[in-house]
Amino acid sequence: MFNPVVFVSLGPGEADLITIKGLKHLQSAQLIYCPATTLPNNKVTSRGSAILSELGIEASKIDLFQVPMSKNRELALQAYREITHRIIQKHQEGLRIAVTVEGDAGFYSSVHYIMDELRERHIPVSQIAGIPAFIACEATAGIHLVKQEEQLQVIPGVIAFESLLKEIREGKVLVIMKTSQCETVIKQVMRELPDHTFHYFENVGVKEKEFYTTDHRQILERAFPYFSLLIIRP
Ligand code: SAH
């Protein structure tokens, strides 16, 4: 009987925030696929691989696969198709395979392309839960994310100025992911609501890179990187 391909959630960036179950799977896997990106300066970066190395996982069993950082979705999809093909081949050899995912594997994670394709080809997959970035952010800020009857809405980077203003005025708790995609709108709304608190985070859990502030001026001055997130409470 073939082992399932296991999608292991790594947590937001701090190695200690992986689950014991996830760690056990990484230790027992014979082959680990981990996404990496080549930056415009040709440097390869991989948050996943940094976490694996901190956890003491042998580098020899890690296969770093490239996911292009491009607005052209088709390029990324092509990369996912290629890696899925490689996984299928190795799976047929009977290896225990893990695929790493930042944060939680089932929360706005692009590895779902790989998972869906494997399922379509009747290859068993399983998923190990992890701590998503917004939960880690909440803990960093020391806030209670939602209380009593409050409703939480997660916005994945695309929202119009009027809609964001409306959601805030309605008193919803908002988590904005991929803030780099709506930086202008967020800053416009912040100028409109100078007395409202905005919790802004970058690289939560990542040593020497973590940043958290509620200071309007500091947020407005920053260029939002890919790993940034906003929490807005009533
Ligand atoms: N599966 C991930 C989310 C992937 S979408 C999870 O469960 O958290 C990518 C977005 O997540 C980023 O644009 C950013 O908004 C957020 N993110 C991921 N890691 C983060 C971190 N360490 N600090 C701040 N935001 C992070």
| 11 CB near ligand 1 (under 6 Å) | no
- Ligand 1 atom 5: residue of nearest CA: 108
pLDDT above 90 for 75: no
| 133 CB near ligand 1 (under 6 Å) | yes
pLDDT of residue 1: 59
Model confidence over 181-229: pLDDT tens digits? 999 999 999 999 999 999 999 999 999 999 999 999 999 999 999 999 9
How far is Cα 226 from Cα 108, in angstroms, rounded to an integer?
14
Tell me which of 227, 228, 231, 232 to substitute to probe ligand 1's pocket, judged by most ligand atoms within 8 Å of the beta carbon: 227
pLDDT of residue 76: 86
Q: Which residue has the higher pLDDT, 2 or 15?
A: 15
> In the chain, pLDDT over 90 holds for what percent of residues?
89
Model confidence over 18-62: pLDDT tens digits? 999 999 999 999 999 999 998 888 888 999 999 999 999 999 999
Model confidence over 96-142: pLDDT tens digits? 999 999 999 999 998 999 999 999 999 999 999 999 999 999 999 99
| 112 CB near ligand 1 (under 6 Å) | no
Stated as kind and residue range, the H or E segment containing 177 is: strand 173-177
Model confidence band, residue 156 (pLDDT cutoffs 50, 70, 90) = very high
Tell me which of 229, 230, 232 to substitute to probe ligand 1's pocket, judged by most ligand atoms within 8 Å of the beta carbon: 229
Nearest CA-CA partner of 201 in 110, 108, 133: 133
DSSP-derived pairing of the beta strands 152-156 and 173-177: parallel
Q: Using CA atoms in the order 2, 57, 114, 16, what is the torsion angle rounded to 10 degrees?
A: 120
* Tokens 């202008």, located at residue: 184
| 100 CB near ligand 1 (under 6 Å) | no
- The arithmetic mean of pLDDT across residues 131-156, rounded, is 97
- The arithmetic mean of pLDDT across residues 158-178, rounded, is 97
| φ, ψ for residue 50, nearest 5 deg | -65, -40
| 203 CB near ligand 1 (under 6 Å) | yes
Q: Ligand 1 centroid vs 64 CA: distance in angstroms? A: 19
- The arithmetic mean of pLDDT across residues 67-74, rounded, is 80
pLDDT of residue 176: 98
| 102 CB near ligand 1 (under 6 Å) | yes
Q: Ligand 1 centroid vs 12 CA: distance in angstroms? A: 7
| 103 CB near ligand 1 (under 6 Å) | yes
Tokens of 202: 């970058």
